[in-house]
Amino acid sequence: MEHDQQHMTEKSVLSREALRDVNEIALWAGAQMMASGAETDRIEETVHHIGTGLGAKWLDILVSPNAVVVTSSSGDEFRTRLRRVPVLGVNMRVLDRINALSRQITTSGMDRAEAREELLQISHLPHNNPFLVAALVGVACAAFARLFGGGAADMGITFLGAAIAQYVRYLLNQGHFNPFLITIVTAMVASIIALAPRSLGLTTSYTAFLSSVLLLIPGVHLINAAEDLLKGHLVTGFVRGMLGALLTGCIALGMMIAMWLLQSPVI
């Protein structure tokens, strides 16, 4: 009996190359989650499930503001890898697919080749139709204009400004411009379109001006910052909070530039 247990234990120990492969797969998943807007605890939990589900005995995960570090161990072997994550975006489709992958690995016994192929597919997920996204963003901002007390004219102006600004943001993202510059330009475009009817005397309301830039509010970054700080991830939480604050400042700067260009009085 003892001999059988020892044989099973030895069989479960990963080889040097297999452990390195497991570590790379788990780290790849964690980097994609971080780049897609996941909070720190979720990244650590998912990466740990993927690594142990693929055969590692234990994983230690460190999530920093711009990198993920994973150490995997099995028997007397361990592997440590780091991957930088230069962009912090938001993509819930990626997070949903990786969460589903972690459940498949832990419950269905998915092997390393299948997990790597699934991560490759996730990394190449097609973008949503930019025109459809722009239209839906315009509808959402127009709905906020209505909630703020605006009428049909305000809703129409907000829809136009937010939809065009969203498409401009998409084009700038495709060009890989600085995210702060993208925020400033997008806010400026939305604000100019929203303020133009007022400058022409067609409306006296600022509702469209205030509602058309709501697509840029960094809600996910601010929520993640609060969660990370409350759960003890102080450095990551502080950096994410600062990122949210800087993006908010960029929105304000873009709005101010639009007001200056159109010679619009301060609200």
Cα–Cα dist 19/12, whole Å: 11
Q: Domain containing 70: what range?
A: 2-123
Q: CA 152, CA 171: separation in Å to the nearest integer?
A: 29
107, 123, 139 — which closes off a domain? 123
Spatial separation of the C-alpha atoms in residues 184 and 190, rounded to whole Å? 10
Pair 146, 218 in one domain? yes
Residue 266 domain-assigned? no
Q: What pLDDT was estimated at residue 10?
A: 43
The answer to whether residue 98 is domain-embedded is yes
Q: What is the structure's pLDDT at 2?
A: 43
Other CB atoms within 10 Å distance of the CB of residue 16 = 12
Same-domain status, 112 and 166: no
Same domain, 156 and 138: yes
Q: Structure pTM?
A: 0.86
Q: According to the model, what pLDDT value does residue 87 have?
A: 67
Decide: helix, strand or coil at residue 178.
coil
Same domain, yes or no: 113 and 154: no
User: Based on the domain organization, do 6 and 116 belong to the same domain?
Assistant: yes
Between CA 4 and CA 203 the distance in angstroms is: 83
Do 112 and 185 belong to one domain? no
167 in the same domain as 46: no
Judging by beta carbons within 10 Å of its beta carbon (0-12, 13-18, 19+), is residue 155 exposed, middle or buried?
A: buried
Residue 7 falls inside a structural domain:
yes
Under DSSP, the state recorded for 128 is P
234 and 217 belong to one structural domain: yes
Out of 74, 95, 123, a domain closes at: 123
* The two three-digit tokens of residue 105, written as one number: 């690995």
Residues 174-219: pLDDT tens digits? 998 999 999 999 999 999 999 998 777 666 578 999 999 999 999 9
Residues 151 and 176: their CA atoms lie apart, in Å, by 37
- Is there a single domain that holds both residue 117 and residue 134? no
Which strand ranges, in their side-by-side order, compose the sheet holding 77-84? Answer: 58-64, 67-74, 77-84
> How far apart, in whole angstroms, are the C-alpha atoms of residue 250 and residue 221?
15
Task: For the chain, list residues with pLDDT below 50.
Answer: 1-11
* 12 and 82 share one domain: yes
Residue 63 CA neighbour count, 13 Å, CB half: 31
Residue 33 sits in the same domain as residue 6: yes
pLDDT on residue 266: 57
Q: What is the pLDDT of residue 204?
A: 56
Give me the helices (H) in the chain, please.
2-12, 16-35, 40-53, 92-108, 112-123, 130-147, 152-174, 179-199, 207-211, 219-230, 234-261
Q: Number of structural domains, the chain?
A: 2
164, 142 in Cβ contact below 8 A? no
